[in-house]
Amino acid sequence: METIHHSRWVKISHWVITVSFLLLAFTGFIILMCHPRLYWGEVGNDLTPALFELPISRNYQHGGWDASVPFFNTAGSQVSASRTYDIFNQNGWGRSLHFLSAWFLVITGVIYLFTGIFTGHFRKRMVPTREEFLFRALWRDVTSHIKQHFGYNPKYNVIQKYSYLIVIFVIMPLIALTGLTMSPAVSAGYPVLLKMFGGVQSARTLHFFASVALELFFVVHVIMIIRSGFKQQIKGMTFGK
């Protein structure tokens, strides 16, 4: 049976990105545990309302705050308050490991993108053909997925093509740019980033949603690898010719 052939540069970048992604997802979760509140706009902290909160560490709605002190003499003034509660915070190594993994992901990702464009990798393998652009073709592929017809196929199917394209050209750039927007030095150099995402906290929230999307993709990707012929797929992405 014909096995899918991947070039060596695809295999290497696939696994470097896999390891970086897993480390980023893990450290990202550790960082989120420290402040499991998400906001919209430029400002967001324990003394301002959250968009939503995640019950993922003892910091969740801990309520250990001194009485708040107003900054101004007006009604409804902005306030200051001090924490009386020892929060969970592993960001010392969490942040450093997150950024180290991000270096690997971004450098490998950029090389992968350029090589993919110049070798025609994306055009030949991922851009849907003329027939596949039709809604009918997409529908046929959706129904065959629902019926769980996961035979091994060396060519990518329509849903596979769309999901790879969305991950590579939408979610990955979005997660990198929202990540950079959270850097005070980068946003000072390129204030357009803050404008683009509507503030540092909006960027943080979008960064979170993008990571959830990637984690869902990862889970479905692994399930599909198993269902469609685990041995052949792994061989194709490792030592297979």
Would you tell me which residues interact with another protein (CB under 8 A)? Answer: 9, 31-32, 34-35, 37, 42-48, 65, 68-69, 71-72, 78-83, 87, 89, 91-93, 95-97, 99-100, 103, 111, 115, 119, 182-191, 194, 200-201, 204
Residue 162 CB, nearest approach to another protein (Å) = 28
CB of 149 to another protein, least distance (A): 37
CA-to-CA distance for 43 and 227, rounded, in angstroms?
45
Residue nearer to another protein on the CB measure, 182 or 213: 182
Q: Which residues contact 19 (CB under 8 A, 6 or more apart)?
A: 101, 104
**Helix (H/G/I), strand (E/B), else coil: 164:** helix
CB 233, min distance to another protein, A: 25
Q: Which is nearer to another protein, 44 or 236 (CB)?
A: 44
The token duo for 160 is 């596979």
Contact 63, 75 (CB under 8 A): no
Q: Which two tokens stand for residue 4?
A: 């899918």
How far apart (Å, rounded) are the C-alpha atoms in residues 78 and 104?
Answer: 41
Q: How far is CA 212 from the centre of its chain?
A: 6
Measured in Å, how far apart are the chain's first and last C-alpha atoms? 13
**Choice between 51 and 222, CB closer to another protein:** 51
Nearer to another protein, 115 or 232 (CB): 115
Q: Which two tokens stand for residue 130?
A: 């003329």
Considering the complex, what minimum distance in angstroms separates the CB of residue 51 from another protein?
13
Q: How far is the CB of 102 from another protein (least distance, A)?
A: 9
Pick 137 or 182: Cβ nearer another protein: 182
Min dist CB 210 to another protein, Å, is 16
We find the least distance from the C-beta atom of residue 218 to another protein, in angstroms, to be 23
Q: For residue 70, give the 3-state DSSP assignment.
A: strand
Helix (H) or strand (E) run with residue 53 in it: strand 52-53
C-beta of 91 vs 144, nearer to another protein:
91
CB 138 within 8 A of CB 158: yes
Spatial CA neighbour of 32 closest among 4, 55, 5: 55
Residue number, 16 or 100, with CB nearest to another protein: 100
